[in-house]
Amino acid sequence: MFLLLESQSANWRIDGMKKLLLLCMFLCPHHALAGQAPMVFGEGGQVKMLYDQRQRPQAVYLKDKVHIVYNGGGKPGGVARKTDTTPIAVTYEPHTRTFSTPITLGEGSNDHHDGPVVWAGMDERLHVFYGWHNALGKHLICSEPGSIGTSRDDWSAAPAPAPMMSYPWTHRIYDNRQLVVYRTGGHYSSWTYRISGDDGRTWDGPNNDVIDLDIKGGMDTDWSIYAAKAVSSDGNFLHLGFIAYDDYKRPRSEEEKASGKLDPRREYNPRYKETIFLKYNLYYVRINLRTHELTNGQGEVLQTPIDIALANSKCMIWDTEWRGTGIVPSMVIDENNQAAFLHNISEPDSAHAFGYHYVRLVNGVWEHTRITDSTHKWNGGYLSRAADGTLHAYVITGKDRLDSEADMDRYGGGDVEEWISTDQGFTWKRVRDLTPDRPQFPGWKFNNVQPVKRPDGSMVKGMLLFYGWNDSEAAQARAFLLHEDGNK
């Protein structure tokens, strides 16, 4: 910022007050240049007002505007997990830094999984998925290209990719087709994908599901996954990074059925010597979207669907040895079609302290480097790679662990920071505090940093989304957009 100021005309002078302001911004990095502070654009949100890596994207940069969807409109002061929130769309005009009037797209729900995702077809009409959690949700298309319209009447129903989906994640791929990746039903269900070549009118996919850890059944296979997704720059490959957990919620013996109680030993963690609910290890596979062939990190072709035994023997890239997490990692794909991850995981000696790690392949071995602290197992981060190879990790951190089980806090939260690495991830340094102005938002927590992307999936430089809250019991979260001047 100082180089920019110095490059101005020599006739331009900085008076004493401007010098003082400049010094303040230097000493207090959470303050941004005028016009660069994160802006509020949504109100009345509950848990995951803007979702984590499993359910994206929630913003599309199209025809010089940003179209955003979020879960909001909850009753003021309502209890977070009992207040209905609705899928809402809003448009941001970067040149004037203004937001349109929000539009409610559907009915209310107190299930935060029902939140919306948005994408743009080749005809530049916007599509929205919402209400997809173990159920048949909605697929809507706006009638006006490059616009959210003026009301729900401007949106019409479109064919569903599947009769049931959870965690829809969508991306444009080869030949301008649209991909949606999802879980096929409830916790024990498989994961698969569908592809449309006609802007969502029809959908097709592989003959076999991709991952189903529990497919063989039995006493010890109540295993499920959460998956992070990314697409190669040429649109030919889908990358999946997933974590596994013993999703032990149904009785597996006559004794358990009779007593109505599950065996507590199933959730016992031998590293920490306590019963705790965490998700373990890190797995990686790559799928050729043209042929549906699945390979592991070594390029070995594997039979689908992947079950727990095959995942452990052929797909695991980090045996975490009972260290665990709540949330899937952020994934980035480089120019060589190689995946790397930003992973939030528990510390070696504590099940209640967490840290962010950079995970990548080095000389044929998957290595992990610790970046900084995380305040909670559900803190969502975002990893990106610049054209010059610089890695940017946007993380949720802070001085204190978040131990509250209040509705809004139980899925994480903290301050927003940017860390970078210029040596391929071996060392990291903190460069910015992106937390919204603390005098204006005292005691607030924030989570789920995510980028704004174009219809082809490329990142818009200088724009980030996240949400935050102060009241840990009420549906009063707000959504924020960071738009840095000179970037779009």
Residue 225 lies in a domain: yes
Question: Which residues in 65-81 are b (16+ Cβ under 10 Å) and which e?
Answer: bbbbbbbbbbeeebebb
DSSP code of residue 270: T
Say if strands 301-302 and 316-318 run parallel, antiparallel, or are unpaired.
unpaired
What pTM value is reported for the model? Answer: 0.90
Query: DSSP letters of 99-158?
Result: E---EE-S--BS-GGG--EEEE-TTS-EEEEE--SSB--EEEEESSTT---SSGGGEEE-
Q: Are residues 209 and 307 in the same domain?
A: yes
Q: Are residues 154 and 221 in the same domain?
A: yes
CA distance 56 to 465: 12
Query: Residues with Cβ < 8 Å from 241, sequence gap 6 or more?
Result: 227, 228, 230, 282, 283, 284, 328, 329, 331, 339, 341
Q: Are residues 21 and 41 in the same domain?
A: no
Token couple for 366: 């998957």
Q: How many domains does the chain have?
A: 2
Q: Are residues 2 and 44 in the same domain?
A: no
Q: Are residues 139 and 25 in the same domain?
A: no
Which CATH number covers residue 111?
2.120.10.10
Helix (H) or strand (E) run with residue 26 in it: helix 16-27
Alpha-carbon distance values, 278 to 57, 87, 324 (Å): 26, 30, 5
Residue 82 lies in a domain: yes
Query: Residues with Cβ < 8 Å from 157, sequence gap 6 or more?
Result: 138, 139, 140
Q: What is the pLDDT along the chain (488 residues), one digit of tens a residue?
A: 323 222 333 333 334 433 333 334 333 433 443 447 899 999 999 999 999 999 999 999 999 999 999 999 998 888 988 899 999 999 999 999 999 999 999 999 999 999 999 999 999 999 999 999 988 999 999 999 999 999 999 999 999 999 999 999 999 999 999 999 999 998 889 999 999 999 999 999 999 999 999 888 765 568 899 999 999 999 999 999 999 998 877 777 778 778 877 777 777 899 999 988 899 999 999 999 999 999 999 999 999 999 999 999 999 999 999 999 999 999 999 989 999 999 999 999 999 999 999 999 999 999 999 999 999 999 999 999 999 999 999 999 998 889 888 999 999 999 999 999 999 999 999 999 999 998 999 999 999 999 999 999 999 999 999 999 999 999 999 999 999 975 54
Residue 420 lies in a domain: yes
Residue 320 lies in a domain: yes
Q: Are residues 161 and 83 in the same domain?
A: yes
Angle at 438 between CA 434 and CA 444, to 5 degrees: 85
Q: Given the structure tokens 């860390």, which residue do they identify? A: 419
pLDDT of the residue at 219: 55
Residue 488 lies in a domain: no
Helix (H) or strand (E) run with residue 24 in it: helix 16-27
Residue 380 lies in a domain: yes
Q: How many CA atoms lie within 13 A of 33 on its CB side?
A: 8
Give yes or no for a contact between 175 and 157, defined as CB atoms under 8 angstroms apart. no
3-state secondary structure (DSSP) of residue 324? strand
Backbone φ and ψ of 316, nearest 5°? -75, 125
Residue 216 lies in a domain: yes
Q: Are residues 261 and 410 in the same domain?
A: yes
Q: Are residues 16 and 45 in the same domain?
A: no
Q: List the alpha helices (DSSP H) in 173-295.
A: 254-259
Could you list the residue range(s) of the whole structural domain that residue 11 is in? 1-31
Q: List the alpha helices (DSSP H) in 268-397.
A: 308-310
Q: Are residues 14 and 144 in the same domain?
A: no
Q: Are residues 17 and 70 in the same domain?
A: no
Q: Are residues 13 and 141 in the same domain?
A: no
Beta-carbon count within 10 A of 268 CB = 13
Q: Are residues 96 and 221 in the same domain?
A: yes
